[in-house]
Structure 1
């Protein structure tokens, strides 16, 4: 079965998807694409390598007269792949794109945290009513298949708790402060220079990004209906070198840890002192997650939580899961 996809967003994640499609024969054809300034629709398929070259040379993915909403509304696709930048406040325009695709009876795969954090239950019902899939593995922990594990692989288990390092920017800053004795500002400047932190790092360092991931986990895994305001959030922006040094003197270090304990309605994100040998003490921009279950015990996952190809890996996994599931008529 050849699956037709339309891609909305040609930033880092979108380019990673295009690069992967150009490398591998995955039985996927690209019939529509759009960025914030242009778009293209072609029923016979758009070659990913040609598209990447055009984007690099012109900054556009297609015709400036073709808008993203045109692609979403009219392109011939089976799966809408929505990987545009996140708007955590409104979820737009991504939420509207997703609703339109679902209303057409098309599947949706997204890396966009905004729509899932804000409107998951509504979007899931629309997808169920249409008999299609809504998948969003890439919204949490990048290449780590944590949502697939929680939703599918741990059937029969009761998941009692989840603990995790869910933001690579913060983890990089904390690692550099501990290992090199850098100040918070020095480590942040270094993270900016390497592309781990944005020019305005507020979203990351104040814990907003990681907290949104906790919202997604709570609502999609435990069927809660919480918002960002329900998370007790403390970021790393006020952390001092002295605090790091004191932790190091105790053979410990500090990591920004997210917690979900459903039985206690506990949703928290804060810097925590933990022993250096703890499995959540990962280095650089890595993410790590511990799941506590009744049958399987404690399960530990770690890996790259961001990056072009890493996030594309999660998106492609969702796309191919849809292809394989619906190829069998299920």
Structure 2
């Protein structure tokens, strides 16, 4: 399988390392022999139609800051769109940084890949939150596969569980914790009896929160993931503008302690039950959704199986890379 990879940050490099580590197993057990023929980052492109040496590429990235600095295969003058349109490959993997304002440049990359007849795997929430219904239609129109398991729950198979393990049932609604950073902050506030500001500072020190934590603490990240769930699992045609979003900046230590007196904890809950909402809610401490730290937890309410909850880590480079690998294997089975 020939692959074009756009994005060579934490997730892209984790995917390369995963391919290196599991090369023999993937070939013997799954008959899967991925060949990354092009990698793009902010500095340009590395290109070899016969397949790039991933160990070499990781070394060049670490030493020079861009894959385009490779003396043999570096092509700093090439754009991602040119590679998508002109280079033959079965799959385009898109893992560039998330942009929820207009989804670019990833949105243009995905559209171009579909029109070029390439199957697509992405973990990028931006274009999915803003245009998933349109992207799904475009993929179907061009007869290609479109997978994005890593966009929700990273390595935790939330989307696959809903689609495959509850196959034949009818999922009525979804509710859960979709952002590990806010869950960590709220857990810190409850367990250490500290303010939101102090808990946020701890999250930043540990690398759980960005220097600008707005995407997380204002509920935007959770809302993006909720949109993906609502489209993929509930069959709704919705985008980010359809979600009522309220983050955790207003949650005080008094709120946390008041909830504790009722044997509850406060969590940032994303729900799709008629309407789409992200807001802080009281959750009973014995609820499956009462998870601590950076964990994610999602409960599916189905007509016949009842309540089913999936719990796992919702972020991380290698975790997201594992979801991308699952999607690639899924596409391989379909080809």
Q: TM-score per shorter chain, which class?
A: over 0.9
Question: Partner of 1:24 in structure 2?
Answer: 22
Partners of 2:100 and 2:111 in 1: CA distance:
17
- CA deviation after TM superposition for structure 1 residue 246, in Å: 1.6
Contact 2:131 2:239 in 1 (8 A): no
Contact 2:172 2:234 in 1 (8 A): no
1:82-138 Cα offsets, whole Å, 9 max, x none, are: 000111121111111111111111100001112222222222222212221011111
Contact 2:133 2:238 in 1 (8 A): no
Partners of 2:172 and 2:276 in 1: CA distance:
13
Partners of 2:167 and 2:281 in 1: CA distance:
31
Question: Partner of 1:125 in structure 2?
Answer: 137
Question: Partner of 1:282 in structure 2?
Answer: 291
Partners of 1:156 and 1:282 in 2: CA distance:
29
For structure 1, the residue ranges without an aligned partner over 5 or more in a row are none
- CA deviation after TM superposition for structure 1 residue 225, in Å: 2.4
SS in 1 for 2:39: strand
Question: Partner of 2:164 in structure 1?
Answer: 152
SS in 1 for 2:176: strand
Partners of 2:202 and 2:269 in 1: CA distance:
22
Question: Partner of 1:9 in structure 2?
Answer: 7
1:88 aligns with 2:105: no
For structure 2, the residue ranges without an aligned partner over 5 or more in a row are 27-32, 69-73
- Taking a change above 3 Å as real, the CA distance of residues 86 and 298 of structure 1, as seen in their structure-2 partners, is same
- CA deviation after TM superposition for structure 1 residue 58, in Å: 1.0
Partners of 2:128 and 2:311 in 1: CA distance:
23
1:196-241 Cα offsets, whole Å, 9 max, x none, are: 1111111110101101111111122223222323222111011111
RMSD: 1.3
Contact 2:295 2:312 in 1 (8 A): yes
Q: 1:127-146, aligned counterparts within 5 Å?
A: 127-146=139-158
Q: 1:255-294, aligned counterparts within 5 Å?
A: 255-261=267-273, 265-294=274-303
- CA deviation after TM superposition for structure 1 residue 142, in Å: 1.2
1:117-167 Cα offsets, whole Å, 9 max, x none, are: 222222222221222101111111111212122233322211111111000
Contact 2:177 2:268 in 1 (8 A): yes
1:16-40 Cα offsets, whole Å, 9 max, x none, are: 1111011012311110100111211
- CA deviation after TM superposition for structure 1 residue 73, in Å: 2.3
1:108 aligns with 2:127: no
SS in 2 for 1:10: coil
Which moved further from structure 2: 201-210 or 143-152?
Answer: 143-152
**TM score, norm. by length of structure 2:** 0.92
Question: Partner of 1:46 in structure 2?
Answer: 52
Partners of 1:274 and 1:101 in 2: CA distance:
42
Aligned length: 321
Question: Partner of 1:301 in structure 2?
Answer: 310
Which moved further from structure 2: 65-74 or 53-62?
Answer: 65-74
